[in-house]
Amino acid sequence: MNNTIKLAVASALLAAASNASAGIMIPAGDWTLDIGGVVNAYYTSTRVSGNQTVGYGGALFTANAAGNSATSSNITTGLLPNYLTVSGKTRQNDLDVGFTISINPGASTTQAGIQSFNNGNGARQENRQAFLTFGDASWGSIKLGKDLGIYASDAILNDMTLLGVGSGAGGLAGNDTTTGRIGTGYMYADWKSQIAYSSPNWNGFSFTAGVTQAWNAINVGGITTAGGTNTARGGSAPAFEGKASYAWAGDFAGKVWVSGITQKMEGLKDRGESADIGATVNVAGFGLTGYYYGGSGIGQTVQFNGGFDAAGNARDSEGYYVQATYTIPGVGTKLGASWGESKLDGNGAADTVLGSNTLTDEMWVIGAYHPLTKHLNLVAEYSDVKSSLAATEGKAKTVSLGAILFF
């Protein structure tokens, strides 16, 4: 199974039965192929109420301006899409050489007779990974291609909703994936074209640094007009991202990490940049995670969304989440609860959208993750999301039940 999926499975705070091994191993001449993946599906019922706010989070709420409530039900994939991944590795000329390619079919159907993504109907086909690596245990490895971004990657990999649904507000629960805790405690690391170097593991310490494809400032949910709704690639310079971590094992195991991103924004005078810090510890079946990020121009939920006001001035952002889990001895069921929020500050009178107000997206989640088999988890979650700006507030409460299979 590819490294990102292995991290998701092995992370101590995600869910029970995270001891799933590699996928289907196939010797093929000089190569060893690993075919693995994920299949998941959930029933979700979401009740939204209040007024729609601006921004990506606010765009999830479908209740009308009169404050009426509405309920939607879906059968959908969760935060993780379905995965089919082929990885290969070999040793050539004193180098470890490898590759990973994935396809990610959605599981939702939203219109009769439509079984492909067409103007928002049906399940989206994604390709989140296509990269090669080469290196050696003595000096590290180099990655070229598309994979999970570097900044904020540990935040999502330690989020317990990665094996569930998290927020199912708005139309996303009927689309390709839900949002989990993205935008209510951390920024989305996203899937990026990159050239990155990862160090060896020096007694628990390691780091990764690289350049990633620059993106322009975007506008989702009417949050800003600077940069328009341009979702194209960025301009004259790449983004620079990096992270460092220290992990330790034993009866009191854990990990601490920091990461950051900086990018020149095409057509704007300020940079988009952010840094984070997080820690997770596990002892006697108990797990605790804490995380914080802060930045300027990074925006809300999706990187560089709403990071700049209409005059091109950078808005400040911050977010955080805390998470506690407990694995029942002899049963393996992991129970978890987490809370977090993301904030985006207005720039005052010159900010025609936010003014001097702060846009806040907040979520509570409780969940149970039961290992029915070594590779199959049953999942039940309840989430309570609130998006607020001044006197405007939207709410969404989601119940989800389903299963996720790793192979």
Q: What is the CATH number of the domain that holds 333?
A: 2.40.160.10
Is a pLDDT exceeding 50 seen at residue 2?
A: no
What residue type is assigned to position 142 of the chain? I
Would you state the pLDDT for residue 173?
45
Would you state the pLDDT for residue 263?
95
Q: Terminus-to-terminus CA distance in the chain, angstroms? A: 8
Backbone φ and ψ for 7, nearest 5 degrees, come out as: -60, -40
Confidence of residue 11 (pLDDT cuts 50, 70, 90): very low
Using a 10 angstrom Cβ sphere, with 0-12 exposed, 13-18 middle and 19 or more buried, the burial of residue 105 is middle
Is a pLDDT exceeding 50 seen at residue 116?
A: yes
Q: What is the mean pLDDT of residues 346-366?
A: 93
Confidence of residue 240 (pLDDT cuts 50, 70, 90): very high
Asked whether the CA dihedral 263, 102, 256, 329 is positive or negative, the reply is positive
Would you state the pLDDT for residue 60?
60
Is a pLDDT exceeding 80 seen at residue 283?
A: yes
Q: What is the mean pLDDT of residues 380-404?
A: 92
Domain tally for the chain?
1
The mean pLDDT value of the chain amounts to 86
Would you state the pLDDT for residue 19?
33
Q: What is the DSSP letter of 121?
A: B
Asked whether the CA dihedral 181, 232, 350, 292 is positive or negative, the reply is positive
Q: Taking the complete model, does pTM exceed 0.75, yes or no?
A: yes
Would you state the pLDDT for residue 114?
62
Is a pLDDT exceeding 60 seen at residue 65?
A: no
The domain in which residue 248 lies consists of 3-406
Residue 202 CB partners (closer than 8 Å, separation 6+) = none
Residue with tokens 């195991």: 253
Dump pLDDT digits (tens) for 285-326. Answer: 999 999 999 999 999 999 999 999 988 899 999 999 999 999
Q: Which residue has the higher pLDDT, 219 or 330?
A: 330
